[in-house]
Structure 1
Amino acid sequence: MAYLLYIAAAVAEIAGCFSFWAWWRLGKSAAWLVPGTLSLLAFAWLLALTPADAAGRSYATYGGIYIAASLAWLWLAEGVRPDRWDVIGAAVCIAGASIILLAPRGA
């Protein structure tokens, strides 16, 4: 369940940031900012729902998931296929995020 929250937060953040990118860099309508802002609010809410015992640990775990999700966005939304170095880097990040998320910690 935790991974799903992190993935949903990453999608919300990337979509929200991309709407600003599209408006600012691609010349899209300012109307793109409305769903973008809502998406960024959803991102913050979803990240706050994660099970980490401290905000910093949640952000660190999220960082690894975010990197992999960004590369998926690159491929699915922008049509640019990640190369093997992107995939290797994302795998390392997911491994690091998993270590942080799943490490046994005392109560």
Structure 2
Amino acid sequence: MLQNVNPRTAKLASRNHIGALLYIFGFGMAGAVVAQDPETIRLFQDESYYNDACRGGSGEEAATWQACGARDYIAFLLGQRGYCYGKENQPGYQQEWHRC
């Protein structure tokens, strides 16, 4: 049995490992991102987290606006690494991250 384990930290680590595997193996979908380096994988994880917080939060709360700003900045950083979100004239529900 593990001792002195913070359940919150262990849970977060598990989520991060699962997220990394999903990105590494491309979600099992054609055209999905296959990131190689840990830093880019982490950016994709963070973008997903902040996107959920942005889209699911109340527009009246500062935390929502902060999440949206963080998401947009991370998207900018991913763009600097050669990734794009969606394609021209593509419906929003079909958009996903891909190499530009």
TM-score by length of structure 2 reads: 0.39
For CA contacts below 8 A with separation 6 or more, give which structure has more relative contact order: 1
| Higher share of residues assigned strand | 2
| Higher share of residues assigned helix | 1
